[in-house]
Structure formats: C-alpha cells, structure tokens
Structure 1
C-alpha cells in the first residue's frame, strides 16, 4: 500500500470519527463521565440540603447518597423527532389518582441495543421554551432495580428534527422519596420492554 493510499485512508478515518462524534453528540469519555458525575453530585446536594427537597428533615439526617448505575456512554443516543400528527393535550395520570395535562408533541425514534425504539415527548402546558421536553419512561428495571413509577429525563431539542436522549441523566420523581408528593406516571407509549441500566436507581429507605 503506497503513502498516498495510507494518507487517504487516514483522512477518511478522521472524517468518519468526526461524523460519528457529530451524530452521537459524544464527548471525550473522561470529560463526559466527569460531567455526569458533577450533575449527580448536584442532585445529591439538592436532595440532601435544599429547602425544596422532597425529603423530610428526619430523612435528610439519615440521607447519605443517591444510588446510580455506572455511567455508560452507550445510553446516550441521538433520536429523530417525528411530530405527532394530531397534536393535542393528554391527561397524564398522577400517583395520587389525579391527572395533569401535557401536550403530545413528538415521538423520539432511536436505536439502542440493536432495536428501534420510539418514545413520546411531552410538553408541559406551563413550558415557555418550546424546545424543552419532558420524558417519563418505565423499563425492564422498573419496580426491581429502579423506582416502580418510572423515571424522568428533561430534554432540550438540539437539532432541527433531532434530540439527544441521555439515559445516564434519568432521575427519580419526588414521589420515589416521599409518597406525599404526586408525580406523573409514564404514558403507555413510554413503557419499554428492555432494561435501561443507566441513570438513578431506586431510593433505598433506611
């Protein structure tokens, strides 16, 4: 193989890596993991110390840490946004039996573990920034390793017709810590059969 061919292959390899980087939105692994760990530390401090924490003062005294899966960049995916044909408000059931209204906005379609998945992106009627979305989901870990009522991810549209979903950022609703809170349950469209072993695990009450 001559030098020119080696150079061409090298250039193509760099281009391929750049395209993959752009499509997946993946940072340098060490930088990415550090960012997730900092966010988890922020979550812990909020739950442990903030006046708006769902924990009671008694719970706070005994609270030592949040439990998370190991950060796995494979659970950060790029999804295509497919608009809901008939956008309308839906009533999402809450854990206390009431309902809360959300706009059915788009479906996020992506590949994970060799399968194509489609999740419903919702938008609160109180949301002013129309690029922000709410994702409530349940999966194969729900009720066992993670909270039975599902987990949440806050999303922001970062492309014309695309959005990044990072399951490493999945967090528990307030009702996972304190049943006095009412939390939205995942819509049926967002109950996944696969196990999403990323993000926050169930809160262990001592």
Structure 2
C-alpha cells in the first residue's frame, strides 16, 4: 500500500473513532473501570478513616474492605428526564420514623435488562446546583445481597433532557452500617422489579 493511502486510512480510522466516541459519549473500558475503582477506593477510605464515618471506632478497627459487585458497564444507562407536572414537595420517611422533604423533580425513563424503567428523581430543597439529583431505589437484590433498605445514587443532569444513571456507583446509606443513623426510604415508584447486580453489596458486620 502506498504511503499516501496508508496516511488516508489512518486519518479515516481516527475520524471514525472520534465520531463514534462523540455519538456514544462513552469512554474506553479501561478508563471507565479505573474511574469506578477510584471512586470505590474513595468510599472505602471515607468509611474507614473519616471522622464523619457512620462506623463506630470499634467497627473501624476491624474494617478491611467494602463489598461490591463486579464492574459492569451494562448498568450505566442514559435516561430521558420527564418533568413532573406541578412539581411538589415529597415527604420522604426515614428509617427512624422521622421525615425529610424533597422536590419531586422528574422521572428518569430508560431500559435495563430488556425492561422499561421509570424512577423518580428527587432534589434537595436546599440544593444549590439545579442539575444535581438524588435517587433512592430498591430492587430484587434488596434484603439478600444488598441492604434491605435500598441503595442510593447521586446523579447529575448531563443534557437538556437527559441524565446518566450509573448503578455501578450505587452505595449504601449510613444506616446499613449503623442503625443509629436515619436514612431516606426509597419511594414506592423506585422499587424495581429486576435485580440490580451492580454497585455496593450489603455490609457484613
């Protein structure tokens, strides 16, 4: 093959790869895995060492690691945000019987495991960044491999009407580690009828 043709082929390959990257908004599998692992390491260090950790000092002394499902990119989904009409305040019960208030902002609609999903996105009343949302959910692993009270995802709107939900980043509420903490219970809309085998597993005391 002539050098000119080789150069054309290389340039064409780079352009196609760039277009594919732009259209899918994805990153390389290696970079994605490193990002998730770094976040999991950050979580571990917070739980193990931070003064605000939900663990008692006795728990910290024997705490070696957090338990997670293997990283699976299939559980990272791009969802359509459908605004809640006539937004109102949702009173969310906590595990100790008290309550917190959030704004019912929108529904995240997507498909996972071949099934359509629709989850309610909540926003803290005092949230300073209107692109940040709180998702509390439960699924068919709850009470078995994962915490019975559900898990959480912090999500950020990344398009005019879209948001990425990465269940590999699903984490346990503080009450999964220590019952002295009060945690929001997932709304009924967010009880999923599939197994989310991604993110953090239950904490074994």
TM-score (norm 2): 0.90
Change (3 A) 1:130 1:195: same
Structure 1 segments unaligned to the other structure (5+ residues): 1-6
Aligned partner of 1:125 in structure 2 is: 125
- Aligned ranges 1:136-175 → 2 under 5 Å: 136-175=136-175
Counterpart contact for 1:131–1:156, Cα < 8 Å? yes
The question of whether the paired residues in 2 share the 8 Å contact of 1:104 and 1:120 is answered with yes
Shift in CA distance, 187/22, structure 1 to aligned 2, threshold 3 Å: farther
Number of aligned positions between the proteins: 195
User: Is there any run of 5+ residues in structure 2 with no aligned partner, and where?
Assistant: 1-8
Alignment correspondent of 1:182: 182
Alignment partner, residue 199 of structure 2:
199
Q: How big is the shift at 1:44?
A: 0.2
Deviation at 1:25, TM superposition (A): 3.3
Q: Is the 8 A contact 1:167 1:196 kept in 2?
A: yes
SS class of match (2:107)? strand
In 1, Cα distance between the equivalents of 2:97 and 2:29?
Answer: 42
Q: CA RMSD in A?
A: 1.8
> How far off is 1:22 after superposition?
4.3
Aligned-pair CA distance for 1:159: 0.3
- Deviation string, structure 1 residues 87-131 (Cα, Å, up to 9, x no partner): 000100100011100000000001111111110000011211111
CA distance in 2, matches of 1:150, 1:34: 26
1:98 alignment counterpart: 98
Check if 1:114 corresponds to 2:121: no
Distance 1:164 1:126 in 2: 22
Deviation at 1:18, TM superposition (A): 3.7
TM-score of the aligned structures, taking structure 1 as reference length: 0.90
Match of 2:79 in 1: 79
